[in-house]
Chain A
Amino acid sequence: MIEVENLTKDYGEFRAIDNISFTVEKGEILGFLGPNGAGKTTVMRILTCFFPPTRGKAIVAGYNCFEDSLNVRKRIGYLPQRVPLYEDMKVDDYLRFVAAIKGTPAKEVNRKAAKVMDDCGLGDVSGKLISTISGGYRQRVGIAQALVNDPEVLILDEPTVGLDPKQIKEIRNLIKDLAGKHTVILSTHILPEVSILCGRVIIINKGKVVAEDRPENLATDSAKRMLLRINGNAQTIEQELSRVGGIKGAEREPASGDGNVFIVVLEDEKQGRQSIQAMIERNRFELVEMRLLEVSLEDIFIKLVTKEEA
């Protein structure tokens, strides 16, 4: 559905993206992950035909973004980062306008606008001026305008930025419902978002792809970590822990409440666990808490990005 080959974009001297290639299959949700300024928006702007790449080619829904831009634009829905909407229009008027300008036949414009308002839960604000509605509703209007022509490809640039937790959850559910029917590319710098939403993730940094995989596979390469909360003399525990087999290291974390908290990096999960248990029994420490920490994409991301820089 989307093919990107050796895409490069220069802004004057500055190389925003450097030789990026990837493909997205039909019905897939691809996450684009990277820190601010990594080049996510640049890739999206090329895919939406806002500007052409300096080099390389992008094919969306079978059409070349540069040579056949009108055909690409007919088949995409785009939510730009800051959700730029016409503030002086009412929500329903705006969606009718977008539906019409995206080529919906005149007699279907009302129906399509009504449907997309229903899908995005905009019924309550349909007659309100866009300048007066809340951030959450704005974001939904942004998604609604992207969806109104039932596009094959949806390109969402940081769709949940600036929303409160409840709104984020709602928008995520909305996007999840789109999978299968639409091919979705979404960019984010919020890590849990990709593991929740995306079937596949591409991590980019400084304009280059640093990793590409399923979110859960990325997690498995990383070392497992364990949180220990033990009652006893902190220094003794630390000494004992340093002698235990199967672990790479332990670090004391400042913590409130009962006991001392240590984050242990495991070398071999089973052996490490057993030897820690044995150490605690031997020293008659009181074990308060012991749990495996889930590897966050944060860790992976930091690892990948620092590796790149080294």
Chain B
Amino acid sequence: MNIRNVSLILNRELRSYFSSLTVYIVIIMFLLMTGYFFYNLTATFSIVSYQAQSDPMLAKQYQLLNINETVIRPLFGTIGIILLMMTPLLTMRLLAEEKKTGTIELLLTFPINDIDVVLGKYLACLVVVLTMILLTATYPVLLVVLGEPEVVPIWTGYLGLVLLGASAISLGLFTSSLTENQIVSASISFAMLFFFWLISYSAPLVSAGLGRFLSYLSINEHIESMSKGVVDSADIIYYLCFIVLFLFFTLRSLETKRWR
């Protein structure tokens, strides 16, 4: 690995991202969707809070009428899912486009290691996703200004989102290495990410041990506890393994390209 080469690829890739319309559209869609859910959650919260003042039964029903439980936690869950839906649109071009246009032939005959290419592209997409996540910070900032939420779950929730996004990019980069068709890459990414999201749904149907294992495999389960303010090393390890595994697959996929 060579830091200079990684940063050269990263730079080129970022410039390419921001010179195309796709990134802006993805970011705008992402903010529209997350903003809509944020509005819904806070509006519901304020209406219920208002009614609960005069209706003790309702207050009881919403035992946990606190802003962390009713707004922030579901908000992180929703942002996470929207993030999973958007990242394939960002990762699909990373390698597929180079293959389609043939630029990969020059890229892979430049005197740089494959890992520099993979990391440079990975980090460029990570920068875009971090930008997207950072832009959602307006929501919790509003909550802190207008209400009194606990702040720690917000920080840990963001840690979770970043790890989730980083994992989705790793998987997306891998699917982009499999094909020269961006749509195919995005489709495989969607399918795999949704598989990793929904795999925990079958947990209740199987034995307890297997069920726990399936829940552990699920990519969304792990931000659940983080948005409650709990950082478990098992969750962090899950995401790190996920990222490293798919980066490794990407690297192998590039190598086998050379062999064919």
Residues in chain A within 8 A of chain B (CB atoms): 11, 45, 48-52, 70, 73-74, 76, 78, 80, 82, 84-89, 93, 97-98, 100-103, 145
Complex alpha-carbon distance, A30 and B16, angstroms: 37
A42 to chain B, nearest CB (A): 12
Q: How far is the CB of B192 from chain A (nearest CB, A)?
A: 28
What are 11 A-B residue pairs whose CB atoms fall within 8 Å in the complex? A51-B257, A51-B258, A78-B106, A78-B109, A80-B106, A82-B102, A88-B15, A88-B20, A89-B12, A93-B15, A101-B111
Binary contact readout B144-174 vs A (1 if CB under 8 angstroms, 0 otherwise): 0000000000000000000000000000000
- Contact assessment for A102 and B105 in the assembled complex, using a CB-CB cutoff below 8 Å: no
On chain A, the residues within 8 Å of B101 by CB distance are 84, 87
Given A100-B4, A145-B106, 14 extra CB contacts under 8 A: A48-B109, A50-B108, A51-B260, A52-B259, A73-B109, A76-B109, A78-B105, A80-B105, A82-B102, A86-B12, A88-B16, A98-B110, A101-B9, A101-B112
How many cross-chain pairs have Cβ atoms below 8 Å apart between A and B? Answer: 63
Measured in the bound complex, the distance between the Cα atoms of B104 and A103 in whole Å is 18
Check if A50 sits within 8 Å of B258, measured CB to CB. yes
B113 touches A70 (CB 8 A): yes
Instruction: Say how far A145's CB is from chain B's closest CB, in angstroms.
Output: 7
Kindly list chain A residues whose C-beta atoms are within 8 Å of the C-beta of B111.
70, 73-74, 101-103
A51 lies within 8 A of B8 (CB) = no
Min CB distance A64 to B, Å, is: 15
Q: Which of A76, A78, A86, A93 contacts B103 (CB 8 A)?
A: A86
Could you tell me the distance in whole angstroms from the C-beta of A155 to the nearest C-beta in chain B?
9
Interface positions of B (Cβ within 8 A of A): 4-5, 8-9, 12, 15-16, 19-20, 101-106, 108-113, 257-260
Q: Give the contacting residue for B8; candidates A49, A76, A82, A97; CB below 8 A.
A: A97
Q: In the complex, what residues of B have CB within 8 A of residue A86's CB?
A: 12, 16, 103
B20's closest neighbor in chain A, by CB?
A: A88
Residues of chain A within 8 A (CB-CB) of B110 are 73, 98, 101-102
B260 touches A11 (CB 8 A): yes
Q: Are A88 and B19 in contact (CB under 8 A)?
A: yes
| For the complex of A and B, 10 pairs with smallest distance between CB atoms | A84-B102, A73-B111, A74-B111, A84-B103, A48-B109, A80-B105, A51-B258, A88-B19, A101-B110, A88-B16
Across the interface, which residues of A come within 8 angstroms of B16, CB to CB? Answer: 86, 88-89
* Partner among B4, B20, B113, B258 whose Cβ is within 8 Å of the Cβ of A52: B258
Check if A100 sits within 8 Å of B8, measured CB to CB.
yes
| Minimal Cβ-Cβ distance residue in A for B112 | A101
Name the B residues within 8 Å of A52 (CB-CB). Answer: 258-259
Q: A97 with B12: in contact, given A78-B109, A88-B20, A103-B111 (CB under 8 Å)?
A: yes
Contacts of A11 in B (CB 8 A): 260
Residue of A nearest to B113 (CB): A70
